[in-house]
Structure 1
Amino acid sequence: MSTDKKQGLFKKVSTGLTVASVVTGSTLLFGPPVLALGLTKLFKKSAKVDQTNIELTNRWLSINNWLIDHVLPQTQWDIQVDEQLNLNLQGRYILTCNHQSWVDTTVNQYFGVSRMPLTRFFTKWELIFIPFIGQAFKILGFPMMKRHSKSQIAKRPELKNRDIAEARKACEQLLSQPFTLLNYVEGTRFTPEKHRQQKSSYQHLLKPKSGGLALALNILGDQVDALVDMTIVYPDGVPKYGNFWLGEVPRVAVHLRKIELPTWILQGDYETDREYRVQFHQWLSQIWHEKDQLITQIKTRLAQPITQESIA
C-alpha cells in the first residue's frame, strides 16, 4: 500500500472514531435528561419543561454542527437565502425540501440550529424504539405516523382517519411555541429507480405528494410566518450517511426561498373537496417545477469538480 493510501486510510479511521465517540458521548449526555424531563409531562404539562428540552436538544444538535465545522472542514458549504426571507429563532415556519439521502436531515439541522426554531418532521412511529433518539422525537413533538398499506386501509378504513387525527394533534401542539415543521414532499428518498418507476416529469425530483403539506397548512397555515422551500444539492454525487461523517462529501449546496401562499390555500378542505385537491396539487406541482429548474441551475453553476488545488 502506498504512503498516500495509508495516510488516507488513517485519516478516515481517525475521523470515524472521532465522530463516533463524540456522537455517542453527546447522546449519552443529552439523551437521558431530555427523556427524564419528557416523562414529567405524563403528570403535568409545563411550558418551562418544553422550553428546557428544546434548549437541551439544540445544544445536542450544536455538537453535530461543531463536528461538521472542525472535524469535517473539507466539506464546502454553498448556502443561499433569498433576501425576502427573514428567518429568526422565534418564528413559525413550514419547511418543504427535496429528499435524496439521510444526510438531508443533518443538512437541515446544520443550517437551522442558529437560524430557525427546532425543526420537527413527520417520521415513522417505528423510530420510537431507537434508544434516546426515538423517545426524544416523541417528547419533542415530532408527528410520528404509523404507515399503513392500501390493503390494510381497505380492510380497516378507520386507520387512515386515525393517522390524520394523530398528525393533527401533533401539529396543534406546536402552536404553543416557535416551530419549524419539515415536510419531505416526495414522501421518500430520490433514486434513479424510483424516478423511472414513477415516470416523473421532473429531471431531478420525484412527484410531490400533496396530503401532508395540505394537512399542515390546514392546521397551521394562518399561524405561520412563512412557507419556506429548501433545496439541497450534492454537486459531487448523492452521499450515504456514513460518507458524510467520514468527510467524503466535498460540497453541499443549500438554497432557501419563501413561497407566497395564495388566499385560497387556507380556505379549502383537502380531504373532502375534490376541486380544491386538484387545485392544490397543481399549485404544488408548479413549485416543484421551479425547484427542478433551480437544481439544474445550481448544478450548472457548480459543474466544475472540486480538486485538491481548489481546496488549497
Structure 2
Amino acid sequence: MSTLKGLVSILLLVVTTLSWGVPLVALTLVKLVTPGRRLRRIVLKGLNGVALNWVGTNLWWIRRWLNPPLETRLPDELTREQWWLVLSNHRSYTDIFLLFLALHRRIPMPHFFVKRQLIWIPIVGLAFWAMEFPMLRRLTREQRERNPHLARRDQEATERMCRHARERPIAIYNFVEGTRFTPVKQAAQGSPYRHLLKPRAGGIAQVLSLLGDRLGGILDVTLHYTNPRPTFWGFLCGREAPVTLQARRLEVPDWMLDGNYHDDPDYKERFHSWLNALWQEKDDALSRS
C-alpha cells in the first residue's frame, strides 16, 4: 500500500508541476523579450505568483494525502513584509517540502542557492533561471584555487541576486552544509559535529554583507528526523517518522554589515567563528533531541 501511495504522490507532483509549468513557460518567454528592468520586475512578480501557487497546490495535497508527522516551533514575529535569510541543516530532499510546510506565506517568496546542474531539470530548472536564483558550481577549495574565475562567477551570481533582492522582500534559503548529511560524507570531510557536516560560509557571508541592512533577521532552522536515514521516497510513501522543525530568529550583528568576506582575512575569520559556533549549538540541540 505504501508503494502505491508513493506512486500516486509522484503522479500528483508531476501533474502540478506540468500544470503550473504552462504559465511559467509563457511568462519566461515574455520576460526574455521584455525591455528594461522596470518592466521585467512586473513579469517577475507574475513568475513569483506562479511559483507560490505551485508550492501551495503541492502543500494542499501533501497535508491531505501524506499528512506528514511534522511538529513546528516558529518565532512569532514572522512577516511577509521583510527580508529573511533562512539557514538550515540538510538531511533529505524532503527538507525543502518541510520548510515550505512550516514557512509558506509566513515569509516572502523563497529563493535558494541551487547547484548549476539543476538547471537541466525540466520546468524546475527553467523556474530557477527565470526567477533569478543564483546558480552555483559548488567548487571545492582545490577547484577554486585552480579556477579562480569560476569562483568569481559564483560570487557575481550571489551579488546579482542581492542587488535585485533589494527591489522587493524575499526569503533566501541556504542549506549551509552544501549537500545532504550522510555518515560517509561526515567521515570523509572529518566533520567535528555528530549530526552535521561542516558549514560553508562564503554564500551567506556575501548575502549578509550585501543585504544585511534589509534583513528582518536570520532564521536558524534545525530539522530533527526521528528516522536516522530519511529518504524522499519514504516521505512520498507516507512512511516518514516524526520530524521536528524548530526555527529561531537571530539578529544580524552590526559587524557583519561592514566587512568583505573575500578580501578581509580578519572579517573572514570572525565570520567562520560565528558560523561554527552556531553550528555547534545546532549539533548540541540535535544531540539532546
2:49 equivalent in structure 1: 55
2:84 equivalent in structure 1: 93
Instruction: Provide the rounded CA distance (Å) in 2 between the counterparts of 1:105 and 1:238.
Output: 16
2:64 equivalent in structure 1: 70
Matched, 1:30 2:20: yes
Does the residue aligned with 1:287 lie in a helix, a strand or coil?
Answer: helix
Matched, 1:82 2:75: yes
Map 1:249-260 onto structure 2 (within 5 A).
249-260=240-251
| Counterpart code for 2:75 | D
1:102 equivalent in structure 2: 93
State TM-score, norm by structure 1.
0.86
| Counterpart code for 2:14 | T
Larger radius of gyration: 1
State TM-score, norm by structure 2.
0.93
Shift of 1:151: 5.2
Instruction: Provide the rounded CA distance (Å) in 1 between the counterparts of 2:143 and 2:242.
Output: 42
Matched, 1:276 2:270: no
Instruction: Provide the rounded CA distance (Å) in 1 between the counterparts of 2:153 and 2:187.
Output: 32
Does the residue aligned with 1:181 lie in a helix, a strand or coil?
Answer: strand
Question: Is the 2:82–2:214 contact (alpha carbons within 8 Å) kept by the matching residues of 1?
Answer: no
Question: Is the 1:141–1:174 contact (alpha carbons within 8 Å) kept by the matching residues of 2?
Answer: no
1:17 equivalent in structure 2: 7
Instruction: Provide the rounded CA distance (Å) in 2 between the counterparts of 1:271 and 1:175.
Output: 22
Question: Is the 2:193–2:283 contact (alpha carbons within 8 Å) kept by the matching residues of 1?
Answer: yes
CA pair 38-114 structure 1, distance change in 2 beyond 3 A: same
Instruction: Provide the rounded CA distance (Å) in 2 between the counterparts of 1:257 and 1:155.
Output: 39
Shift of 1:132: 0.6
Shift of 1:113: 1.4
- Cα-to-partner distance string for 1:49-97 (whole Å, 9 max, x where unaligned): 2222212211111122112211112x311111134xx112222101100
Instruction: Provide the rounded CA distance (Å) in 2 between the counterparts of 1:290 and 1:23.
Output: 35
Shift of 1:152: 4.8
Shift of 1:235: 1.2
Map 1:1-312 onto structure 2 (within 5 A).
11-44=1-34, 45-73=39-67, 75-83=68-76, 86-148=77-139, 150=141, 152-297=143-288, 299=289
- Cα-to-partner distance string for 1:29-56 (whole Å, 9 max, x where unaligned): 1012112102212222333322222122
RMSD: 1.7
- Cα-to-partner distance string for 1:2-40 (whole Å, 9 max, x where unaligned): xxxxxxxxx224312321222121111101211210221
- Cα-to-partner distance string for 1:164-209 (whole Å, 9 max, x where unaligned): 1122112221221221101111122111122222332222111212
Does the residue aligned with 2:166 lie in a helix, a strand or coil?
Answer: helix
Q: Which runs of 5+ in 1 are unaligned?
A: 1-10, 300-312
Instruction: Provide the rounded CA distance (Å) in 1 between the counterparts of 2:93 and 2:177.
Output: 14
CA pair 156-290 structure 1, distance change in 2 beyond 3 A: closer
- Cα-to-partner distance string for 1:71-130 (whole Å, 9 max, x where unaligned): 112x311111134xx112222101100011111111112222131112111111221111
Question: Is the 1:185–1:210 contact (alpha carbons within 8 Å) kept by the matching residues of 2?
Answer: yes
| Counterpart code for 1:293 | D
Does the residue aligned with 2:85 lie in a helix, a strand or coil?
Answer: strand
Instruction: Provide the rounded CA distance (Å) in 2 between the counterparts of 1:48 and 1:255.
Output: 35
